[in-house]
Amino acid sequence: MLKSSLKICFLAIAVLWISSCTEDDLKNAAPISSKKVTLTKDRTYGMEVTYSDSAVLKAKGYAPIYDKVTPSQGNMYNEMPKGVKIEFYDPYLQVTGTITSNYAINDETKRVTIFRKNVVVVNDKLTFTTEELTWDENTKMYTSPYGTAVTKTGDVLTGMSFSAPQDFSTYTISKASGEGFFKGDIQP
C-alpha cells in the first residue's frame, strides 16, 4: 500500500514538472544561446619565454601549459592553467628572484598579469606569499589584496593591500601585524 502511494506521488510530481515546460521556455532559449561567445584557443605545452632589454636577459618564464585565447568579443588573453614560474636575472645572469603560482592569466591589451593560487615571490630581501598578486606593466607595480612577507632576518608581516615596485626593493603593507626581531639590547 505504501509503495503504491509513493509511486503515485512520484508520477504526479513528474507530470507536474513536465507540464510546467511551455513553448515560451523554448522561445526564450534561442536568443540566449545565440549570444554565446566563441573562443579560439592555441595551446602550447612546455612553454619557455625569455624577456630581454637591449640584448640583456631580464627574465625567463616557464609554464607547463600556455593557452593563447582569442574570444569573439573582448580582449585576447594568455592563460597558464597549470601554473607559471618566472626567474629574474641580474646583468651577470644570476637569478635575483622568482615568482611562482598555480595559475596565471595575462591580458595583453590592458598589460596586466594576475597570478593566483599559492603565489610565492622570493628575492634576496624577502619571501612574499599570497593567493593573488597582480602585475601591472603600465605602472610597473605589483599589488595584492593581502599577504605575508617574511624578511631574511626573520621578521614576519601579514596584512592587507600589499604593493611593491617591479624589483621588490621596497614594499608596503597596510593593516599589518606580525613579529620582528631586534639585535642588541633594548634601552628603557
**pLDDT tens digits, 48-76:** 888 888 888 888 889 898 888 887 777 78
Q: Is the full-model pTM beyond 0.75?
A: no
* All residues at 6 or more sequence positions from 159 whose CB lies less than 8 Å from its CB, including other chains: 146, 147, 173, 174, 175, 176, 177, 178
Which one is predicted more confidently, 101 or 34?
A: 101
What does the pLDDT look like over 123-159, one tens digit per residue? 888 888 889 888 888 888 888 888 888 888 888 888 8
CA distance 121 to 165: 13
80-111 tens-digit pLDDT = 889 999 888 888 888 888 889 999 988 888 88
For residue 46, pLDDT beyond 70: yes
Please name each of the domains of the chain with its CATH number: 36-179 (2.60.450.10)
